[in-house]
């Protein structure tokens, strides 16, 4: 049985991904930052652990625990993410740094930690959850876009470095997905009009693309767009 690790698995795309992988026969390590969420995930039948992706000591503890449990990941889904909306004139350096830590830097160092195990096994899948905003400019979303464009660049380079080891590294880039993340976006009304499909995606639709990538040995260094045609409009 293959092991998959999903970060930020307590809600949204992370929970949908963890659920779909479990239904598909994987052993799922689902991580979250709050005790109540970790307990809920355990009740749902996942191996659940505390993990705030910003903290390297959390990462070290998680690695040690998974190694002891025999559940180091064959498939790593770097899903945890945050968004922010502000024009350049209002960008706050501390908030910008925090966003990069969560969305970009964490994915780099989590991958670095677990890829050695994948390398040894000559099998691995790293799937990073990017965004259409990594390619499509939108006013007020500079910090988020920069983090996701960085994630895509990171994925391409690492895909190249590890291609011979049986490891693929890809991104899934959703458009708008019906999760808490988009609940407070002020332009929610215009969203439907922007999307050629005229529908916001479900978290399950994104999860199925993540599962697809986990099953593909020959797709690497790619960004799989899953956005109802939104990118065509940019």
Q: Which residue in 4, 5, 6, 14 binds ligand NDP (CB under 6 A)?
A: 14
State yes or no: residue 181 binds ligand NDP (CB under 6 A).
yes
- In the numeric block, which tokens belong to residue 112? 């670095």
Whether 144 is catalytic is: yes
Place of tokens 């690497």: 220
Place of tokens 């949204």: 12
State yes or no: residue 129 binds ligand NDP (CB under 6 A).
yes
CB 134 within 8 A of CB 145: yes
Comparison of 118 and 136: residue with beta carbon closer to ligand NDP:
136
Which span (61-69, 84-92, 173-181, 191-199) binds ligand NDP, by CB under 6 A? 173-181
Residues in a beta bridge with 78: 128
| Terminal Cα-to-Cα distance of the chain (whole angstroms) | 41
Nearest alpha-carbon partner for 178 in 197, 199, 203, 144: 203
Minimum distance between the CB of residue 175 and ligand NDP, rounded to whole angstroms? 6
Gyration radius (Cα) of the chain, Å: 17
Comparison of 12 and 73: residue with beta carbon closer to ligand NDP:
12
Which residues here bind ligand NDP, judged by CB under 6 A?
7-8, 10-14, 32-34, 52-54, 79-82, 102, 129, 131, 174, 176-177, 179-182
| Residues labelled as active-site residues | 144
């Amino acid at each position: 049985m293959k092991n998959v690790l999903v970060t930020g698995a307590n809600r949204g795309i992370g929970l949908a991904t963890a659920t779909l992988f479990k239904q598909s026969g994987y052993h799922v390590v689902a991580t979250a930052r709050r005790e109540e969420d970790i307990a809920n995930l355990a009740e749902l039948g996942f191996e659940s652990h505390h993990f705030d992706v910003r903290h390297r000591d959390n990462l070290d503890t998680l690695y040690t625990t998974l190694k002891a449990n025999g559940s180091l990941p064959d498939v790593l889904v770097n899903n945890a993410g945050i968004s922010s909306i502000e024009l350049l004139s209002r960008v706050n350096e501390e908030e910008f740094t925090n966003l990069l830590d969560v969305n970009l830097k964490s994915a780099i160092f989590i991958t670095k930690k677990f890829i050695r195990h994948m390398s040894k096994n000559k099998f691995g899948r790293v799937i990073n959850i990017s965004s259409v905003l990594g390619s499509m400019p939108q006013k007020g979303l500079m910090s988020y876009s920069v983090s996701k464009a960085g994630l895509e660049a990171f994925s391409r380079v690492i895909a190249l470095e590890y291609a011979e080891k049986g490891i693929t590294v890809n991104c899934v880039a959703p458009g708008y997905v019906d999760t808490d993340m988009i609940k407070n976006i002020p332009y929610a009304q215009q969203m439907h009009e922007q999307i050629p499909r005229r529908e916001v995606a479900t978290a399950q639709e994104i999860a199925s693309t993540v599962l697809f990538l986990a099953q593909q040995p020959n797709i690497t260094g790619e960004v799989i767009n899953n956005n109802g045609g939104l990118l065509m409009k940019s």
